[in-house]
Each structure stands twice: as structure tokens, then as C-alpha cells.
Structure 1
Amino acid sequence: MEGALVLFSFNIRPTFLFSVGIPCVLVDIDTGKKITNYINTASSPEAKIEPARTITGTLAPKVASFSSRGPSPDYAEIIKPDIAAPGANILAAKGNSYELMSGTSMATPHVTGIIALLKALHPNWSPAALKSAIVTTGLPQKIADPFDYGGGHINPNRAADPGLIYDIDPNDCNYFFRCTVMKTSTSCDTTSVPGYLLNLPSISVPDLSPNNYVNMQLFLYKCF
């Protein structure tokens, strides 16, 4: 097509899609530099546009560049995030149409749906037990660490039969929030309760010393 204008944008991270309203080609920085060098050095630079195709290979799951990382800025004893879920380039409903969207708003519905299915399968499980099931059965990825994805990429099939559960007495949570978050000394014998004393499915001891002890309670659940 003679007289056509093509816009190349290469100052982006190719981890999520977005619309710019005009025909364009989005590439990463390295590819963009190669294209620019070709245009500047070739006497008659040419380009060939081929039909779109899906690139095959192991591209997912992968932690997105915009995903928040840990540790928790407030309580280092509690590992955050808890779990990773699909949240990049999700085809979602928007009004009467649809759109590719990314972020926590896309990942959260995936986790919520899985929790709802687990609750239907195990109606007697507490919220802490449900959380433990997904955190302890996530699929770790070698390209990241717990501060990137928590327990790993969520796996609903494994979470349905986790074997061991880290359950929490609601009174322990109330005590933690009263004494550590709210710091209401009238109802506490201390104003700081280490997060690692909660029966969480993940353990973090920032200031490890010979005098630190972590006691965990495990509950055995078996599906038949």
C-alpha cells in the first residue's frame, strides 16, 4: 500500500495488550531497535505484513511485570502475596460489550470462583481452611519466588484435596488485630504479636534467632 504510515512503539513491556485507537505494531525494546536500525541503514526499507497467528510455547503462567511484589510493608512476618491467578489480557465483559483487561480486578474473580467451588465441595471448611487449600497446592514457578507469587499459581484440582490444612481459630486473628494493628493495650498483654504465631499456610521469620520458635497446627482432610 503506497503512502501508508506505520507507527512502531517499542518503549513498552510486552506483557499485556491495549488499544491505542489507530493501526500500529507493538514490539519490545530489542525488536524496536532492530527495526529502527534497519530503517536507518537500508536504502529502500520494506516490510511485509502477514496474517496474525498465535505464538506457541510455554508463555504462561508467568508473573506480570505490573504485579505487586512482597514482602508486606507493614507486617514482614506475613508473606504477601498469598497466591497468583490469571490476571493479564483477560477477555472480560464490559457493559454490553467486551474488552481485554488486566490487573487484580481480573485475578480476583478467578480466585473467588475457585473458592466457591471448594466451599460447595467442603461446606464445613472455614475461610482459613479454604485459603490454606489454595496456598499449599499452588504450582511454584522457577522464574519467580514467594514474594512474586506467594504459594504459586492457583491450582483448583489440587486444592480440592490438599491433604493437610492450616486452620486458624478466629480468636487468634482477633487477638492479632487488637494487639498489633489497633494496639489496644487495654485488651492485650502486649502491643505487638508476631505474625508467624498465626497458623498461616506460609511462614516468614524476618529476624531469625535461636530464641525464635514457630509452632504450627495441621489438620488432615481426605477426600474419598
Structure 2
Amino acid sequence: MRRDLSIIAFDADDTLWQNEQFFRLTEERFASLLADYADTSDLTERLHRAEMRNLGQYGFGIKGFTLSMIETAIEVTAGRVPASVIKELIDAGQSMLCHPVHLLPHAEEVVRNVATDHRVLLITKGDLLDQERKLAQSGLGDLFDGVEIVSDKTPAVYQDIFARHGVASDAVLMAGNSMRSDVMPVLETGGWAVHVPHDLTWTYERTDTPADATRLRVIDHLGRLPGMLRR
């Protein structure tokens, strides 16, 4: 690990605060509402396909997820889905958008600790308003030297962020739970990455861990990050 890292960047959802568990709970509600039309595994697969189709139009986040649930409900019922079910799905999405933020263990203490020796950034993707809401409610906002809310996390997006903050990629370390979004694209830029696995990870965010990535570290929880940086 480089000793001259200038910036430590953090992902937000399922790295600093809970996120995926609320999607899973809403999926369960969705499946129960449509149980007369298809079994749970079929509904889950159809919903996932709808989300993948719609990423280009709706992006990542709760609003796109809610629209994908409605689309799937129309599809599996051949257009006969009751209006009451559509309303419950909209209510479920609105409930997610109002859900309190639950910080993960060690989140605040780690960001504070790391900020004593490094500049710290928050780099998160998704709906702008929802991510701003969660950051404000988290109480962590004042700890970051910069906040970047992006529509997707690609090598080009990361390189643009690093350039705007005046650092080369190899002087940045990104910590996050998604191998696909927080680790692989940063490694492609020449940066460093720390994978912090979460018990619940959206299928889209999963990919194999590269066997030969010398700039990658894996820790079992975020609390180990400061010690790893010191070593």
C-alpha cells in the first residue's frame, strides 16, 4: 500500500449506511402482492430483467426500481393488475424514499479517523435528491472534503473526479462494498481499492474478485480500514 495516498474515497450505500435491505423488503412486498399471478422466484427474475432494461432510462435508485415493479406487475398480469396494487407499489417506493438512514457499524468513527491524515471524498451513484437526503440525515456530510453523486461509476467518471480534485489515480484509494462499481473501475484507472463486502449485495453489483490485483485489499468490515492504512 502506498504511503503517499492523498485521498481516501468512500462509497455510501451499504458501505456507510444500509440500503439493499430496504430493496429486499420491498421486493418481498411486491412478490406477496402478485402471488396469485406468479411464484416468488419468477417475479424476482422478471423484476431484475426490468431493472436491467430500464437502467439506461431511469438510472440507479428507488424511483427506477418502483417504475420497474409497476412495469413487471403489468407484464405478469397481462395488463390486468388492479389499481390498488399499483397504488401499494407506489406507496412502497415512497416509503423507501422517506426511510430513516441507518449507519453501518464503524462508519462515522472510520471517516473521522481517516480524515485526520487524508482528504476524504464521498463518491456515490443514484438519484441525486435521494442521495442528498441520505447524506444530510447521516450526519456525516461535514466530514467530507468533497461529495460526488454520479449516475454511474465507470473508469472515465472516476478519472474525471480525481482530476477535478487535483490528484493522480494512483494517489487515491476507494473503499466500498461493490466489486463492480467501487473496485474494478478504480483499479482500471490505476488507483487503489478496498473491498468491504456487505451481507446483502444487489445481483448487478456482483462480479468475481480479480486474482492478480496488486492494488486491491479486502477487509471484513470498515473498522479495519484505519489500521490497514497505517500498516
**TM-score normalised by structure 2 residue count:** 0.22
Query: Which structure's residues are more often helix, by fraction?
Result: 2
Structure number with greater CO (CA < 8 Å, separation at least 6) is 2
Q: Which of the pair has more CA radius of gyration?
A: 1
